Amino acid sequence: MECGVSVTNGDGVGEGGAGRVKRKPVSRGDTITHSQANYYSYSEDAYDISPTRGYHPAYDNNPVPYTSPVGVFEPNGYGLYDMAGNVMEWCWDRYGSYSSGSQTDPRGPASGSDRMIRGGGWNERANECRVANRYHFVLDHEFSYVGFRSALPSGQP
């Protein structure tokens, strides 16, 4: 799976300044609440306006929170479910630094053992529930907050 994002480096300005990825946390604007996603709510994240704090109350059986069923929350503007929170997603992209110019859908280097994980899971704060958020691991790692999304090119059944 490719993780399609647009990166603006150098003189361009994306969300939050130069070198940042332009993406809203959820489909309905620049804020997020527990009514929109399964994530860890924290008052110091400016666009986290959830009235409940900590793990999502519906998916926290104390002491171990868990993933929510797919489709519980409304889809984003592209019709995709659970793109903010719930689980981080393994990507086809390999880990590497971005080049200095503007680019669309950067895939990283052609070789390497680490693959990208994007977005945020049920255990991540709102600022980490963005597609711009990226981590990298070798493919043999497994976590309860990481998954993958099957995707087909446009027009495929």
- The CATH code for residues 1-157 is 3.90.1580.10
Q: State yes or no: pLDDT of 156 exceeds 50.
A: yes
pTM over 0.85: no
- The pLDDT of residue 73 is 92
Task: Dump pLDDT digits (tens) for 41-73.
Answer: 999 988 899 999 999 999 999 888 999 998 899
**Residue 10, phi-psi category: left (phi > 0), alpha (psi -120 to 50), beta (remainder):** left
Q: String of b and e for 76-99 (b: at least 16 CB within 10 Å)?
A: beeeeebbbbbbbbbbebbbbeee
Residue 157 pLDDT grade (very low, low, confident, very high; cuts 50, 70, 90):
low
For the chain, what are the domain ranges? 1-157
pLDDT of residue 112: 87
15 class by beta-carbon count within 10 Å (0-12 exposed, 13-18 middle, 19+ buried): middle
- 77 pLDDT higher than 50: yes
Residues 138-154, mean pLDDT to the nearest whole number? 79
Q: Please tell me which residue, 80 or 17, carries the higher pLDDT value.
A: 80
Q: What is the mean pLDDT of residues 86-101?
A: 85
102-145: pLDDT as tens digits: 888 778 888 888 988 888 889 999 988 877 788 888 888 778 88
Residue whose pair of structure tokens reads 């009235």 in the numeric block: 51
